[in-house]
Chain A
């Protein structure tokens, strides 16, 4: 497909120029933007769509932001070319995959063209609640285990950087998406000033400066980067950050008053961690104290005042 596109982007080894910019041909160019609700997936696709329209191409864009409440999976298909019929990108047909979050990028990897696809990813991790089933201190999460090294082996071109962190150093972690736009701007053959103009249209007035800086950082990074310098250990399943949970420090484990317990089973049924059970005398016992998160639900729902979590102070 797309004869004018390079059959296989040369893997950069030394200080060779970055992967040649994609040329728009009869077949439309497909860009898939994915991320987590609140990161700016829609903003990136709007910038791109507006830019392409201004360059005189027909653009079709379709998105799913049903989970746009912060934390849900969001994606946006942008297709542009002389004539575009379908608004969605088929499996294995995306020329560029822009992932604002690492696991979301992995989720959509199969949409990338196997030979020529360009994968631009932010390696920052937003661990979804379902991957946090173990709520203990320092416990590993069920987050994707694939590292940057694994992805490099699978895609033709991989640009992976912790853009969220760099944007935070610039002053606003939300500008991470503009940094990825900067990286993407080197892969599409449009003048850099047109990109800046399009970003100005969509960035909030207060944040234009920071977005411009992030855009330049993204461009510079691609100009100077060497695939061998990619940190192969980025991404992957890192242990959840240790957060000081308030009541873990302030309450003691539940103590059950055996004389008052009436074996009603409410605490056992409503314990979210299932660490309570009935013993041979049918009285509630804390059989798995290590699982207890001190949520105090058993204390509040015990009709017999038989469970107490002592406040330490």
Chain B
């Protein structure tokens, strides 16, 4: 444990007058928020340089609890707002907090284009497999045969693999971790924040009150333990797939590339144009 680690006090980063927060008992989003703030503390980023953009949903509300520059925007559009923000103010550290429905369903289009542009934005997607705030509707990441208010006979839509999508769309760094492994989650987020391109981090959260209750998945402690049992960390990448456990979650840093960052190449291009036309 480093000295900075010991001195990290989460209360330096919270708007305490808004607490206790609105999340249900046992919701994993709080743990993910702690991991994100812990990663920021380790990187020692000035609070005035931090800009959090969040959409709608349980995850979207997290931005409000952070004592920094926060921007609560329309449903599915945090990445679009963040793109504009980063292009206008490249000095800011732009972090997007979004949920599975917000990012993959309503904002799916914005996600693929944000990955394609490869702007220096960190996108933390909290995946709890359901639209929790609006009453428990099915989301693109709801697993097979799970009950939600809109799938009373079980869900049969195939599950969206968000990390595979982000990797294919060209994101600079793609990672995934579960909330129970808080120090590892912090490390993954830290790498995402430090990466110069677009980083997409999927956090496997748990929705105990809506999704867990409807599917009889037990308390939040049981839910996170089930999740942990299905994890296959990246350092076991070469291990043989276990034949009787097909639903394995790959965690860790899943992909990274060093494509040029868009804001920088855009500015270089403009400078070159200005020189060519004699405006510089």
Chain A interface residues toward B at CB < 8 A: 246-247, 250-251, 259-260, 262-266, 269-270, 300-306, 308, 311, 313
Contact = CB atoms under 8 A, between A and B. Distances in A.
Contacts of B27: 264, 303
A265 B9 contact: no
Contacts of B134: none
A21 B27 CA distance: 72
A15 B25 CA distance: 76
B155 interface: no
Contact of B23 (A263, A303, A306, A308): A303
B19 A311 contact: no
Given A264-B208, A265-B26, A270-B221, A304 B20 contact: yes
A208 B28 CA distance: 57
Contacts of A260: 19-20
A58 B26 CA distance: 67
B14 A305 contact: yes
Given A305-B10, A305-B14, A305-B30, A265 B220 contact: yes
A57 to B, nearest CB: 45
B7 A311 contact: yes
Given A266-B26, A269-B219, A304 B6 contact: no
Contacts of B10: 305, 308
Given A265-B219, A269-B221, A270-B221, A303 B28 contact: yes
A264 B220 contact: yes
A266 B220 contact: yes
A259 B21 CA distance: 11
B226 to A, nearest CB: 13
7 contacts: A250-B6, A262-B25, A265-B26, A269-B221, A300-B31, A305-B30, A308-B10
Interface magnitude class on chain B: 20 to 34
Nearest to B6: A311
Contacts of A265: 26, 219-221
Interface in B237-262: none
Nearest to B65: A305
B280 interface: no
B220 A300 contact: no
B72 interface: no
B1 interface: yes
B34 to A, nearest CB: 7
Contacts of B105: none
Nearest to B20: A260
Nearest to B9: A311
Contact of B34 (A262, A300, A311): A300
B182 A264 contact: no
Interface-central residue, A270, A304, A305, by most chain B CB under 10 Å: A305
Contacts of B1: 246-247
Contacts of A302: 30-31
B110 interface: no
B180 interface: yes
A300 B186 CA distance: 11
Given A263-B25, A265-B219, 8 more contacts: A262-B26, A264-B27, A270-B221, A303-B27, A304-B21, A304-B30, A308-B10, A313-B6
B190 interface: no
Contacts of B24: 262
B29 interface: yes
A247 B5 CA distance: 12
Instruction: Give the interface centre of B6, B34, B182 by most chain A CB atoms within 10 Å.
Output: B6
A266 B29 contact: no
Contacts of B23: 303-304
B97 to A, nearest CB: 15
B183 to A, nearest CB: 8
B182 A301 contact: yes
Nearest to B186: A300
Contacts of B14: 305
Nearest to A300: B182
Most B CB contacts (10 A, CB to CB) among A251, A262, A270 go to A262
Contacts of B180: 301
Interface in B131-162: none
Contacts of A308: 10-11
Interface string B23-43: 111111111001000000000
Contact of B30 (A247, A270, A303, A313): A303
Given A265-B26, A300-B182, A305 B19 contact: yes
Contacts of A247: 1, 6
Looking at A250, A266, A269, the one whose CB has the most chain B CB atoms below 10 A away is: A266
Closest 5 CB pairs of A and B: A303-B30, A264-B26, A269-B221, A264-B25, A262-B25
B31 A301 contact: yes
